[in-house]
Amino acid sequence: MQKRTRLSLLALSVAVVAGCATVAAVRDEPIQPIQPAKVNNPAMVELGKKLFFDPRLSRSGGISCNSCHNLSTGGADNLAASIGDRWQKGGINSPTVLNSSLNIAQFWDGRAKDLKEQAGGPIANPAEMASTHTVAVSTLQTIPGYVREFKSVYGTDQISIDQVTQALAVFEETLVTPNARFDQWLKGDNQALNMQELRGYELFKSSGCVACHNGAAVGGNSFQKMGLIQPYKTAHTAQGRVDVTKLDQDRFMFKVPTLRNVELTYPYFHDGAADTLTVAVDTMGKLQLGKSFTTQENADVVAFLKTLTGQQPSFALPHLPPSGDRTPRPDPFAKGG
- Under the criterion CB under 6 A, does residue 216 sit at the interface with ligand HEC? no
Sign of the four-CA dihedral 69, 258, 104, 28: positive
Which amino acid, one-letter code, is at 101?
S
Written as one string, the DSSP assignment of 40-52 is S-HHHHHHHHHHH
**Of 122, 57, 56, nearest in space to 95 by CA:** 122
Say how far residue 273 (Cα) sits from the centre of its chain. Answer: 19
- Under the criterion CB under 6 A, does residue 280 sit at the interface with ligand HEC? yes
User: Measured from the CB atom, is 186 or 259 closer to ligand HEC?
Assistant: 259
User: Measured from the CB atom, is 285 or 313 closer to ligand HEC?
Assistant: 285
Q: Which stretch binds ligand HEC (CB under 6 A): 5-13, 61-69, 154-162, 188-196?
A: 61-69
Q: Which stretch binds ligand HEC (CB under 6 A): 17-25, 36-44, 151-159, 207-215?
A: 207-215
- Under the criterion CB under 6 A, does residue 119 sit at the interface with ligand HEC? yes
- Under the criterion CB under 6 A, does residue 159 sit at the interface with ligand HEC? no
- Give catalytic residue positions: 128
3-state secondary structure of 240: strand
Site residues for ligand HEC, 123-142, by CB under 6 A, read 123, 128-129
**Separation of alpha carbons 217 and 106, rounded Å:** 14
Q: Judge whether 218 and 265 are in contact, CB under 8 Å.
A: no
Q: Which stretch binds ligand HEC (CB under 6 A): 21-29, 94-102, 312-320, 322-330?
A: 94-102
To ligand HEC, the closest distance from the beta carbon of 265 in angstroms equals: 5
Q: Is 184 exposed, middle or buried (0-12, 13-18, 19+ CB in 10 A)?
A: middle
- Choosing from 45, 71, 115, 175, the residue that interacts with ligand HEC (CB under 6 A) is 115
- Choosing from 31, 45, 108, 313, the residue that interacts with ligand HEC (CB under 6 A) is 108
3-state secondary structure of 33: coil
**Separation of alpha carbons 96 and 309, rounded Å:** 13
**Separation of alpha carbons 149 and 316, rounded Å:** 18
Instruction: Quickly count: other Cβ atoms within 10 Å of residue 149's Cβ.
Output: 21
Instruction: Quickly count: other Cβ atoms within 10 Å of residue 309's Cβ.
Output: 18
- Choosing from 209, 217, 264, 308, the residue that interacts with ligand HEC (CB under 6 A) is 209
The H or E element containing residue 186 is helix 181-186
Q: Which residues pair with 240 in a beta bridge?
A: 253
**Of 23, 170, 45, 165, nearest in space to 100 by CA:** 170
- Under the criterion CB under 6 A, does residue 257 sit at the interface with ligand HEC? yes
- Under the criterion CB under 6 A, does residue 261 sit at the interface with ligand HEC? no
User: Measured from the CB atom, is 150 or 269 closer to ligand HEC?
Assistant: 269
- Choosing from 228, 242, 279, 299, the residue that interacts with ligand HEC (CB under 6 A) is 228
- Under the criterion CB under 6 A, does residue 212 sit at the interface with ligand HEC? yes
- Under the criterion CB under 6 A, does residue 269 sit at the interface with ligand HEC? yes
Q: Which residues bind ligand HEC (CB under 6 A)?
A: 57, 63, 65, 67-69, 82, 84, 90, 92, 94-95, 97, 100, 103, 106-108, 115, 118-119, 122-123, 128-129, 168, 172, 204, 207-209, 211-213, 224, 226, 228, 254, 256-257, 259, 262, 265, 268-270, 277, 280-281, 284-285, 288-289, 301
